[in-house]
Structure 1
């Protein structure tokens, strides 16, 4: 992978010609990388800017004491299913160099108290499992109705997303028509939709056990988001061979092939706007870079609140639009290193959603008042078990991760302090969180007790520091019914030649970010790149 730091590049780029590109993309997450690959393969010279010291956004990995962990990619659906749209898109943007390892057939396990509910690969298998867990006739009928709801959501078509690519004037004419069928589904909360088919709290709790994948509880989340996720994982999931960082490793050379470049430690201060036209970016050090097209994949809040000049943002009342939306929830993470192989420790290629003996997710979250309260949900994963190359590269090492959803407000007293330079109270809090998360880990992997060699905790402040998301939200905007109503969450912006990519204009997840890149590049090039993908990838 060929990339440079911004400082090294700018020293050698002393002429305006050397600092001028066809496209500048801010942010190297899946929304930025996907758009960059499509545009580079269309012959565009792309400059990809990443403010972190490593490329990939939430697909990057980090290493400590000889252990490697992912930070945001734990599993992806459909990529391992040959011929699926997502499989073809990833094959195209990585030029068939990215491979995927399927997880176990039981890819997710939900633990409620002492009860385990398994999520197997395959629609019929999942339906059969659910009916075995809930054998009463009325529950079996409810389960059939649930799958019918998922089918209805699956069959809505692409009109909602097509509208996001239309120029504003055309959207005013046909936009409401394209969106209306999806809005009928997205306007309902997940809980409201499920209560129409069942009053069984346990069944609802199990059906929504993966809500952490988009971070919003059933009473607050849009049922459309729930249905997207459930359908996304219906045929199981997979993990990149070689780890999450392999995505950037495959895509960056494609940018280089078209004389483009990816820069790390590239802190953008402002998007340059002249006569309501984006013409470049100004960096934190005052230097300027130029392009005919600017794409922000840094999140819509970052873009409209921080990257656009205040006069431009307020002139288009973008600050008022942002007031309509809430950020997704924040999280803390525990990264664990073990000096034994995944095989010897019997670590599974699956994920665990761990709950107390509480099936009402909203009630569990409401009762989570402070750090001493019962943990409403945690997520456990074993990256080293999922990657078939991990054990070959590090035969006697394995890794685990634990994630908990937490309110950002619990960390605000430290938000003006510097990363890795916070006080003893903060460090003590991190240690307390570490012990809580270790308890969750031992619930599903008691064989790991006494075998931990290294562990480290990240908080929402870590996410805020590296992603510039104000409240450390990994999923961008909250996936509420209100979110799906907002027409300004689209590829086009009110500023000429400025476009948006990333999960805020689509939906949360690696898949959402990647597909947003396809839509964004299609909009910039004024061609249907999905046709291009289908033609190129058989």
Structure 2
């Protein structure tokens, strides 16, 4: 078996973004406090700062960025969540305009290959190419008799993504008019908007293999076609319609280029800053309590820590109950956890033949059946998907930082139940049984890599494996969930998943109030800002949404 190094047992990353927290470094008062430095929290902080507000961001990890951070080890560098981003090829898209706004256009983007995603459905290979015609021809090349269904599908993407603008803006509606807005949404949104992805696609075609190809990016939201909302499927497909892009300089450049905007108005981003409680007095959120006992006051508290963490771990129980959270909790569930494999190799991507194309490897064309089989027997069943990303090949600046080396990242879903027996154990001291389990999984993932890239066998110089326990520790998602809340139709029917909570002074941001992914969470940060600013945010809304 390959030795799966435990990242928790090694020295922390050399890539540290943000300022280490000390109580004597606080320079309040602050207009707002943001809990968590994921892209949603950083976006809200940057937007508020540009409106003249002094914002404090508190991150419990040793580096800022949440799932957008990078880490370096043994002469290699990997990202942990930014494997690729769409809509960055032109400054006219909403996502690019917002990125340019919060980074003052300092964040640069490199395109991936035109064939940015490659799906392996058993023995069948589909090469997804950039552009609307690229998508159409990619599918037609493999399914030449299904042109009508493919055209109808592409047309549906436009309808759903247009409707998404109305859904997003509905998150800003005041409580008094919310029922009216909900009724209005039902009239303007297409019928397919929040049905399951499989249900919608099955009405277009009975070709199950075509459906599998169309839904080959289901790993980008972590929910299979029979469980996911067609809304999230459409957003992902449309987001990557013109190809994939990668931040020049690596994922850590995202936080690095946003933080100066927060500091420009006197704010700061502190790391090692562990928030234990949201302070609630007379029914209002008034600040936070730190692990060292320090209390920091502010009229606005914005949680980017996830809905479940916010209401179940940071707020007093009585405040959560009064806000109606127990009823809402029945309709949401955490998303799946994941295994991460981080590989380092000697040699440049060109020397090693590494592409700027993502690989999605499936055992067959029934995604839901693959997952169900895995859930029944996760130790022995085939992995339902193995995703390969090649960050050193995607980043044109990588060789300047780490010359003569390359990296590969492998991601696969797993269950929390496989690892919960070690919950609460100490870094690097989880015992032989845990290490044996990790080694088994590592070998299985490596064989998936070698199957598609056999020339790499024997060339790996360094490897380490992360489990949901790593995610639980570094990102404080208790079950190691990668995408926050599951993106099911039921989740998107929850009107309470919005920036403004029923607790005055407390706001939510990030992927749980809108959708997962870097851009989904980033727009969540924008929506939180607009919710706080009210009419004062009209100029910002026009600039980002209209251009």
Which TM bucket (shorter chain)? over 0.9
User: In 2, distance between residues paired with 1:2 and 1:212?
Assistant: 28
Aligned partners of 1:30 and 1:145: how far apart in 2? 34
Structure 2 gaps, min length 5: 1-15
Aligned to 1:71: 80
Pick from 123, 133, 148 the counterpart of residue 141 of structure 1: 148
Match of 1:363 in 2: 369
Q: Note closer, same or farther for the CA distance 1:339–1:493 as it changes in structure 2 (3 Å cut).
A: same
Tell me the distance in 2 between the aligned counterparts of 1:280 and 1:180: 40
Conserved? CA contact 2:122–2:365, under 8 Å = no
Q: 1:420-431 alignment to 2 at 5 Å?
A: 420-431=428-439
Aligned to 2:292: 285
Aligned counterpart, 2:525: 517
CA contact (8 A) 1:160 1:179 kept: no
Are residue 388 (structure 1) and residue 396 (structure 2) matched?
Answer: yes
- Report the Cα distance in structure 2 between the residues aligned to 1:335 and 1:12, rounded to whole angstroms: 35
| Matched residue, 2:507 | 499
Counterpart contact for 1:101–1:387, Cα < 8 Å: yes
**Match status 1:230 vs 2:237:** yes
User: 1:483-519 CA distances to partner (integer Å, 9 max, x unpaired)?
Assistant: 1100011011011111110000010100101101111
* Residue 337 (structure 1) shift: 0.4
**Contact 2:229–2:488 (Cα < 8 Å) also in 1:** yes
Distance across 2 between alignment mates of 1:337 and 1:250: 26
Looking at structure 1, the residues matched to 387 and 458 of structure 2 have their Cα atoms a distance apart, in angstroms, of: 21
**Is the 1:167–1:492 contact (alpha carbons within 8 Å) kept by the matching residues of 2?**
no
- State the 1:217 CA deviation: 0.6
Q: Distance in 2 between matches of 1:57 and 1:2?
A: 11
Separation (CA, whole Å) in 1 of partners of 2:36 and 2:538: 23
User: 1:172/1:135 Cα in 2 relative to 1: closer, same or farther (>3 Å)?
Assistant: closer
- Provide, for residues 198-233 of structure 1, a one-character-per-residue CA deviation record: whole Å limited to 9, x for no partner: 111111111111100000111111111111111111
Matched with 1:375 is 383
> 2:49 & 2:384 partners in 1: Cα distance?
44
Q: Which residue of 2 aligns with 1:93?
A: 102
Asked if the contact 2:160/2:193 (under 8 Å) is kept, the reply is: no
- TM-superposed deviation, 1:132: 1.7
Specify the alignment match of 1:131 in structure 2: 140
Question: Cα gap change, 1:194/1:157 in structure 2, threshold over 3 Å: closer, same or farther?
Answer: closer
CA distance in 2 between partners of 1:490 and 1:80 (Å): 30
Contact persistence 2:275–2:290 (CA under 8 A): yes
Q: What's 1:4 paired with?
A: 19
Q: Please, what TM-score do these two structures have when normalized by structure 2?
A: 0.94
Helix, strand or coil at the partner of 1:73: coil
Structure 1 CA distance, aligned partners of 2:152 and 2:253? 40
Structure 1 residue corresponding to 2:461, chosen from 453, 456, 477: 453
Larger displacement relative to structure 2 (219-228 or 107-116): 107-116
1:173 deviates by: 3.6
Q: Which residue number corresponds to residue 63 of structure 2?
A: 54
Secondary structure of the residue aligned to 1:334 is: strand
Counterparts of 2:90 and 2:495 in 1: how far apart (Å)? 32
Contact 1:109 1:353 in 2 (8 A): yes
Are residues 1:150 and 2:163 paired?
Answer: no
Q: Distance in 1 between matches of 2:453 and 2:472?
A: 31
Q: Pairwise mapping of residues 96-135 of structure 1 onto structure 2 (< 5 A)?
A: 96-135=105-144
Change in CA separation of 1:2 and 1:365 when aligned onto 2, cut-off 3 Å: closer
Q: How many residue pairs were aligned?
A: 529
Q: Match for residue 171 of structure 1?
A: 178
| 1:25-82 Cα shifts (integer Å, max 9, x gaps) | 0010110011111011111111001011110000001111111100011011102222
For residue 186 of structure 1, report the CA deviation from its aligned partner. Answer: 3.6
Q: RMSD of the alignment, in Å?
A: 1.7
Deviation at 1:2, TM superposition (A): 7.2
Alignment of 1:311-322 (within 5 A): 311-322=318-329
- Kindly indicate whether the alpha-carbon contact (under 8 Å) linking 2:530 and 2:541 is maintained by their aligned counterparts in 1: no
- Tell me, yes or no, if the aligned pair for 2:334 and 2:485 is still in contact at 8 Å: yes
CA–CA distance in 2 between the matches of 1:535 and 1:69?
34
Are the counterparts in 1 of residues 225 and 368 from structure 2 also a CA contact under 8 Å? yes
More deviation, 126-135/381-390: 126-135
Give the distance between the partners of 2:204 and 2:335, measured in 1 at CA. Answer: 27
Distance 1:11 1:179 in 2: 52
Cα distance between partner residues in 2 of 1:378 and 1:241: 25
Q: Counterpart of 1:110 in 2: which secondary structure? A: strand
The alignment partner of 2:37 has SS state of coil
The runs of 5 or more residues in structure 1 that have no matched partner are: none
CA deviation after TM superposition for structure 1 residue 157, in Å: 5.2
Superposed structure 1 runs of 4+ greater than 6 Å apart: none
Q: CA deviation at 1:441?
A: 1.1
Q: Residue in 2 aligned with 1:462?
A: 470
Q: Per-residue displacement from partner, 1:374-413 (whole Å, max 9, x unpaired)?
A: 1221100011111000012222111001111112111111
Asked if 1 retains the 8 angstrom alpha-carbon contact of 2:160 and 2:190, the reply is no
TM-score normalized by the length of structure 1: 0.95
Q: Distance in 2 between matches of 1:486 and 1:117?
A: 36
Q: How does 1:203-242 map to 2 (within 5 A)?
A: 203-242=210-249
**Given the alignment of the two structures, is residue 294 of structure 1 paired with residue 298 of structure 2, yes or no?**
no
* SS in structure 1 of the partner of residue 513 of structure 2: coil
Q: Which residue of 1 aligns with 2:4?
A: none
1:70–1:243 contact (8 Å) kept in structure 2: yes
Aligned partners of 1:3 and 1:263 also within 8 Å: yes
